[in-house]
Amino acid sequence: MALSCGIVGLPNVGKSTLFNAITQAGAESANYPFCTIDPNVGVVEVPDPRLDKLVELVTPKSIVPTAFEFVDIAGLVAGASKGEGLGNKFLAHIREVDAIVHVVRCFQDENITHVNGKIDPLGDIQTINLELILADIDSVDRKIERSRKNLKGGDKKIAQEVEVLERVKEALYEDKPARSLDLSDDERLLIRDLHLITMKPVLYAANVSEAEVADTGNNEYVQKVREFAAAENAEVVQISARVEEEIAELEGEDKAMFLEELGLQESGLNRLIAAAYKLLGLYTYFTAGVQEVRAWTIRQGTKAPQAAGVIHTDFERGFIRAEVVSFDDLSAAGSMTVARERGQLRLEGKEYVVKDGDVMHFRFNV
Ligand SMILES: Nc1nc2c(ncn2[C@@H]2O[C@H](COP(=O)(O)OP(=O)(O)O)[C@@H](O)[C@H]2O)c(=O)[nH]1
Ligand SMILES: [Mg+2]
């Protein structure tokens, strides 16, 4: 199953433009059979210079970067939690994603109407955040009511759950997202089934005009978004969705030249992908054979058998052990043979927690 980011924001802020850029630049879906086939879902490959280095070392027949999904979530307007716009339809989509990219309009363009008549990034953010909070209040209230009925059985776990929900409810009523609460892992687990929207990590994409693609720090709207995000411990990526659409149509040298003209090191899309990957708390490990060099995504803290399971369930079921070398060691050694001679190739068992950049070979038996 692919991890996913939902793109939210008020109407006319540039969500679909950004999403089009994503699908344009999009991945060859044949490589990613686990990804959803849906017009609102775009698969992106995660750029990783380490993959290029491994390709240099191994010269494989094929190269497969790791990927995740972006989902264009339409229909979020003021009053959506009460059925305005697409109303509750968007809620169903947004509950399923792992993280949220919140697009904020920071560009001036008289030809493009702003739903509230003026460019006001903080007002926009608050409008959207309020809808999300209201949607969560609704879920929490209903869950508390249901759980209270079951409380009579004297179930300790339900009592704990209600206690956590009451705390979440209090925060939401103070206009604070559920993620702002300092919940323990156990407490999070108790309410995980609710899929609270405001529990998901958020990244702000400040959509600026074509003239401001390179972040000079001069856009006052972006500055405001940055201040707001800093207080929330959230990241901001400055991007021009229009320009990203143009970049996504280009390849190779044309693309490099266009980026240089714009004064950019890399596309905004790549910066967004990197930021989203980090936001999701993800690690990459590699498999590197002559047939294929490939990057795989895991969550931080994943143990070797579960990491193997990302490749195939048989790998997890029949896991025996893993041969592991860190990317840095392999890269410095220049080949697997030298890394082995240097004693840098380790054998790891079921309890091994996979690190970012591990190059792995699994032994399994089914
Ligand atoms: N000038 C300018 N227009 C943009 C930019 N991004 C989006 N737009 C335009 O704003 C309008 C609404 O964009 P769209 O992506 O459909 O917004 P959505 O409602 O959030 O999906 C379209 O006409 C876009 O071309 C941008 O960076 N600069
Ligand atoms: Mg749209």
Q: Is 193 in contact with 179 (CB distance < 8 Å)?
A: no
pLDDT at 41: 87
Grade residue 34 by pLDDT with cuts at 50, 70 and 90.
Answer: low
Whether the predicted pLDDT of 228 surpasses 70: yes
Whether the predicted pLDDT of 49 surpasses 70: yes
| Sign, Cα dihedral of 150, 151, 157, 159 | positive
Of the listed ligands, the closest to the CA of 39 is: 2
> Domains of the chain by range and CATH?
4-279 (3.40.50.300), 301-364 (3.10.20.30)
**β-pairing verdict for 99-105 and 282-288:** unpaired
Write out the two tokens for 299.
């969550």
Write out the two tokens for 278.
């980090």
**Which residues make beta-bridge pairs with 207?**
105, 239
pLDDT at 89: 67
Percentage of the chain modeled with pLDDT above 70: 94
**Which residues make beta-bridge pairs with 292?**
62
* Cα(75) to centroid(ligand 2), Å: 8
Grade residue 265 by pLDDT with cuts at 50, 70 and 90.
Answer: confident
pLDDT at 152: 75
Backbone angles phi, psi at 323, to 5 degrees: -95, 125
Type and span of the H or E element at 333 = helix 327-333
* Cα(256) to centroid(ligand 1), Å: 24
What lies within 8 Å, CB to CB, of 175 at 6+ separation is 129, 130, 133
Over residues 46-75, the mean pLDDT reads: 91
Q: Is 125 in contact with 102 (CB distance < 8 Å)?
A: yes
Whether the predicted pLDDT of 338 surpasses 60: yes
Q: Which DSSP letter does residue 25 get?
A: S
For 241-357, strand residue ranges (E) read 282-288, 292-299, 319-326, 346-348
Residues in the ligand 1 pocket, defined by CB under 6 Å: 9, 11-17, 107, 109, 112, 207, 209-210, 240-242
Nearest CA to ligand 1 atom 14: 14
Whether the predicted pLDDT of 116 surpasses 70: yes
pLDDT at 218: 82
Whether the predicted pLDDT of 1 surpasses 60: no
Of the listed ligands, the closest to the CA of 8 is: 1
User: Nearest-5° angle of CA 141, CA 185, CA 225?
Assistant: 70
pLDDT at 84: 64
Over residues 237-254, the mean pLDDT reads: 92
Q: Which of 101, 112, 124, 207 to mutate to test the pocket of ligand 1 (most atoms within 8 A of CB)?
A: 112
Whether the predicted pLDDT of 36 surpasses 80: no
Grade residue 74 by pLDDT with cuts at 50, 70 and 90.
Answer: confident
**Which residues make beta-bridge pairs with 67?**
45
Pick the atom of ligand 1 nearest to 17's CA: 15
pLDDT at 357: 97
* Cα(318) to centroid(ligand 2), Å: 45
Pick the atom of ligand 1 nearest to 18's CA: 15
Distance CA 318, CA 258 (A): 49
pLDDT at 119: 87
Grade residue 154 by pLDDT with cuts at 50, 70 and 90.
Answer: confident
**34-43, 81-90, 167-176, 213-222: range with highest mean pLDDT:** 167-176
Whether the predicted pLDDT of 86 surpasses 60: no
Nearest CA to ligand 1 atom 28: 209
Q: Which of 17, 119, 246 to mutate to test the pocket of ligand 1 (most atoms within 8 A of CB)?
A: 17
Grade residue 114 by pLDDT with cuts at 50, 70 and 90.
Answer: confident
Q: pTM (2 decimals)?
A: 0.87
Write out the two tokens for 133.
């909070």
* Cα(48) to centroid(ligand 2), Å: 29
Grade residue 26 by pLDDT with cuts at 50, 70 and 90.
Answer: confident
pLDDT at 216: 77
Q: SS3 of 317, please?
A: helix
